[in-house]
Chain A
Amino acid sequence: MMGDQRRGEPAVFEKSRPGRRASSIPALDVPAVDPAEALPGVELAAQPPSLPELGELDLVRHFTRLSHRNHGIDVGFYPLGSCSMKYNPRLAEAVASLPGFRDLHPWAPDEAAQGTLGLLWELERWLAEMTGLHAATFQPAAGAHGELCGLMLIRAYHVDQGDPRRTIVVPDSAHGTNPASAAMCGYQVVTVPSGQDGLVDVGALERLVDEQTAGLMLTNPNTLGLFEVEISRIAAALHRVGALLYYDGANFNAICGRVRPGDMGFDVVHLNVHKTFATPHGGGGPGAGPVVVSERLAPYLPAPVVVKNPGGEFHWDHNRPQSIGRLHGFHGNAGVLVRAYAYLLAHGGDGLARMSAKAVLNARYLAVQIAEALPLGYPQHPPMHEFVATGKALRRHGVRVLDLCKRLIDLGYHPPTNYFPLIVDEALMVEPTETETPETLDGFAAAVRQAVAEAERAPELLHEAPVTTPVRRLDEGKAGRELVLRWDPAHA
């Protein structure tokens, strides 16, 4: 990288020159067709869309230079809580680009897709084993898509019982996707408070569930990284009124191979394979959010599902009369699932149990290292794969957690998740994952301690941070007021 990052990278449209191009299209070996003649009465484009016009070298340079302006796990520590930013093995990329996976048409006949169908069938068995549940769908393309799917399954189940219900309960510490998914599924959201110790207030929960409760959405460990030790009592409270339990798998990396949602009483689970099974996050997707369910919810799964016939061949079963329908135009993010399969095959059952233990160990260790500088928001229970610290003490120096995060950038670290969950004042949610060395954790902890010390001694270092990045703090208010949402030379 040359030292001109701070000069900025022009928009690709600014590099465009009429007539320049990178593409080559095979010459026609059939008669050319005049579109106006071939398509009488059809309104044709007067000119093609104004796409950028670049030679291939400038195209490559543009995106390479954009990549230099971006932080990824490959670049450095990325302890973003709730996101499991662990190493993404390149093995998985090699596997997904095998021609047999890469070149398979989604509507290929089943006999031409035996490799992928067999993989999905086996992956379904593995996910069922890991979650203690029964059957899965692979259509959801992300965790929130899985939430929507799972809630639709819960709804279909209750409707089938002649008992459509109105409400979904979520804790006040839940991911925002939980209430948003419930609303997309037509439910009213009822919030259950957390107790003084950061766990669900089970007494309050028992009082607010009733025969209108369709289900409860819960992560366990919860978004504070704390295991809901009363989960069996929680499950009993829901099941007693005929409601179901939904497990948000965002935090599955804490318990994979150790504790199974099905054994805790959950009826439906989504797993974020881009978190627990290390498929790349891609700057915000693609992920995959397979949904695994108990036997009584299996008939409602989106169609088709993969089945194995007695002869050992795999095929899509479309004959699913009770199915909720479809959530994806093809079969979900199959290429992501291939990567997840490779990851699971590499680890095996033992390896997964070691993976989650080391994820917990790294988080617990890091929490101890920074506890003096930034105490836990809820210290009564031990954190698992992530922890939530509070920066409220920084307020007396006029410093916010956001300032601390920006200073961490200058010190070489991607900041943790901040201001979530909402029940912790000035929250900093840290998830180191199992793939980091103790040296990296020690370095990060030292940076946190340094930044916290600076908050008292030299708060301007935090207020002005970051100063080492391609751009400094950005005016989000201006972006929201002016809404420049596409390239426009008038706003250059």
Chain B
Amino acid sequence: MEFAPHTDADLERMLAVVGERDLDGLFAHIPHDLVLDQPLSLPAGLSEDEVLRRLAGMAAANRTEAVCFAGGGAYDHYVPAVVGALVTRGELLTAYTPYQPEVSQGILQALFEYQTVICELTGLPVSNASLYDGGSAVAEAVSMACAATKRDRVLAAMALDRPSRTILRTYAQPFGRAIEEIPYDPVTGQTPVAALGDGLAAVVIQQPNALGVVEDVRAHAEAAHAAGAQLVVKLEPTSAGLLATPGSQGADLVVGEGQPLGQGLGFGGPTLGFLACRREQVRRLPGRVVGQTVDVEGRRGYVMTLRAREQDIRRERATSNICTNQTLNAVAALVYLTWLGPQGLAELARACLARARHAAAALAAIEGVELAVTGPFVKEFALRLDVPDPHAAVAALHHAGYLVGPVVEDGPAAGAVLIATTERRTRAEVEGLADAVERVVKETR
């Protein structure tokens, strides 16, 4: 199946206009040794029905029926029907970056509204129009902090999720920028306010952290500022229904993974990263930013602004290389947050909290099972199973119909298994998980 509409008569007429005998002639000016003389070794093309059937078979080879208690940055929140219905509208789905604002007001206004709800969730006054994901957003925020402080040392909590720490090191490597780690407290799981030392650009923590534990953002902000550094917080966005915003607690840069905001699981992508900052950092923002203005008749309208930061204008002196980002995912996040509303977000966060508390109590009551750390948690917690191989236990639980994890990979809680409870998890599912955990621990101890 192909999508070019040309009839044989079209081809004949058009080839005559351009002065070629056949389609191959269009490539005749390319050195002959570079032009393929046989088709690519790919399967033969298929009809739409055949493609769909083939892909349905592959999709069915993924096993998604297990009850999802997995976390680690991606959570099984319900995605309301309106999200898919609205973001698949062709005018939005098949548009591109709004270079022509007069015919792109839909996307531009939606991004402006998205920026507003991100400001509300983070407690900071400025948001960009999205980044690729939460992990790369951490790296971008750290680059902003380094530019603002003209310093290069970075302290990252070990209780920042592991992919984000790896991304941070990957982005820092070309600049020889050292990423030092702050271990978490082995008892509480919280990141202590450490001695920060000299020449520090940024402290990076996660709220709640990679063990699910709520951090004291205010204390970290005060310590970072006393050292002349900026505080970067990676925020799990649904926690804003319950916890004070990091911006209100002194964070300078708040970023996060937008997956919980109406994106679905989707193997972790596409989702979005969000990034918010203080007003004085606005010219260092990576990526697109939308601003409000008026047209020649005085009507309100929206445009991409602060364009002098961007790669297509500033080239190697740009604040980032971002061009295509995650616009449609940002629109989905806006639709989702509008669907939730403030009451819905608060109810959702409280439901996660209640279900997490219930699940933790039920699981920790099992012999050979305990909470790995004692700090306060809201949606996700780390469970220590008295088993020789936690990965094998996770596999056994999956066979029993429960997806849990990931397994904590380093630090004092290494080997603990993360359990997350969204608003969707029921008492019966928690009881089922508890039975399965009890069985697995008993069988493998």
Contacts and interface: CB of A to CB of B under 8 A. Distances in A.
Interface string B16-27: 011010011011
Contacts of B163: 326, 328-330
Q: Which one of B2, B119, B170, B338 has the highest number of Cβ atoms from chain A below 10 Å of its Cβ? A: B338
Interface stretch (A6-14, A290-298, A391-399): A6-14
Interface in A261-301: 263-264, 272, 274, 278, 280-288
B101 A474 contact: yes
A105 to B, nearest CB: 5
A66 B106 CA distance: 4
B329 interface: yes
B266 A102 contact: yes
Interface stretch (A15-23, A239-247, A447-455): A15-23
Given A39-B376, A286-B328, A484-B291, A365 B18 contact: yes
A311 to B, nearest CB: 15
A148 interface: yes
B120 A49 contact: yes
B14 to A, nearest CB: 5
Contacts of B315: 176, 179-180, 189
B174 A152 contact: yes
A335 B171 CA distance: 24
B442 interface: no
Interface residues of B, number: 204
Contact of B112 (A70, A145, A487): A487
Contacts of B340: 21-23, 51
Interface string B21-55: 00110110111011110011111111110011011
A473 interface: yes
Given A29-B426, A38-B357, A69-B106, A232 B34 contact: yes
A435 B4 contact: yes
Given A67-B106, A87-B3, A177-B323, A25 B136 contact: no
A176 B269 contact: no
A326 B135 contact: yes
A341 B57 CA distance: 14
B344 interface: yes
B109 A9 contact: yes
Given A474-B295, A479-B293, A143 B324 contact: yes
B341 A20 contact: yes
A46 B243 CA distance: 9
Contacts of A70: 91-92, 95, 103-107
B316 A182 contact: yes
Contacts of B58: 100, 115-116, 118-119
A447 B35 CA distance: 36
A152 B345 CA distance: 40
B410 to A, nearest CB: 14
Given A144-B322, A348-B42, A472 B133 contact: no
A346 interface: yes
Interface string B73-106: 1101000101011101111111111111111111
B113 A485 contact: no
A89 B245 contact: no
Nearest to A164: B174
B72 A107 contact: yes
Contacts of A282: 92-93, 95, 326-329
Contacts of A237: none
B61 A100 contact: yes
B166 interface: yes
Contacts of A22: 80, 82, 338-341, 344
Contact of B296 (A60, A287, A434, A473): A473
A334 interface: yes
Interface string A40-84: 111111111111111010011011101111111111001010010
A72 B64 contact: no
Contacts of A185: 174
Contacts of B151: none
A347 interface: yes
Contacts, number: 701
A329 B263 CA distance: 15
A72 B94 contact: yes
A405 interface: yes
B246 to A, nearest CB: 10
A102 B218 CA distance: 38
Interface stretch (B197-205, B306-314, B432-440): B306-314
B223 interface: no
B133 A141 contact: yes
Interface stretch (B224-232, B297-305, B363-371): B297-305
A471 B161 contact: no
B125 A472 contact: no
B34 A259 contact: yes
Nearest to B75: A105
A463 B127 CA distance: 34
Interface string B209-242: 0000010011000000000000000000000111
Contacts of B405: 107
Nearest to A286: B270
A438 B13 contact: yes
B136 A51 contact: no
A257 B40 contact: yes
Contacts of A362: 14
A126 B56 contact: no
Contacts of B173: 152, 324-325
B166 A109 contact: no
B100 A415 contact: yes
A25 B116 contact: no
Contact of B167 (A184, A189, A327, A341): A327
A354 B44 CA distance: 13
Contact of A284 (B11, B97, B268): B97
A440 B427 CA distance: 59
Contacts of B322: 142, 144
Contacts of B242: 35, 39, 44-45
Nearest to B18: A364
A278 B3 contact: yes
A47 B245 CA distance: 10
B196 interface: no
Given A113-B267, A329-B163, A415-B100, A186 B175 contact: yes
A39 B325 contact: no
A347 B45 contact: yes
A380 to B, nearest CB: 11
A44 B346 CA distance: 11
A38 B376 contact: yes
B169 interface: yes
B51 A346 contact: yes
Nearest to A278: B3
B121 interface: yes
A157 interface: no
Contacts of A345: 43, 45-46, 51, 54-55
Given A8-B299, A112-B64, A332-B269, A483 B282 contact: yes
A108 interface: yes
Interface string A150-183: 0010010000000000000000000111011111
A23 B80 contact: yes
B73 A330 contact: yes
B312 A350 contact: no
B88 A93 contact: yes
A483 B33 CA distance: 54
Given A334-B269, A476-B293, A361 B299 contact: no
The 6 tightest CB contacts between A and B, nearest first, are A330-B268, A100-B59, A106-B268, A74-B90, A282-B328, A329-B135
Given A12-B113, A471-B301, 19 more contacts: A11-B112, A21-B344, A44-B243, A108-B63, A108-B267, A113-B62, A118-B61, A141-B132, A186-B174, A281-B96, A281-B324, A329-B164, A352-B42, A437-B10, A474-B102, A475-B295, A484-B291, A486-B112, A486-B115
5 contacts: A21-B343, A91-B51, A342-B51, A415-B100, A484-B291
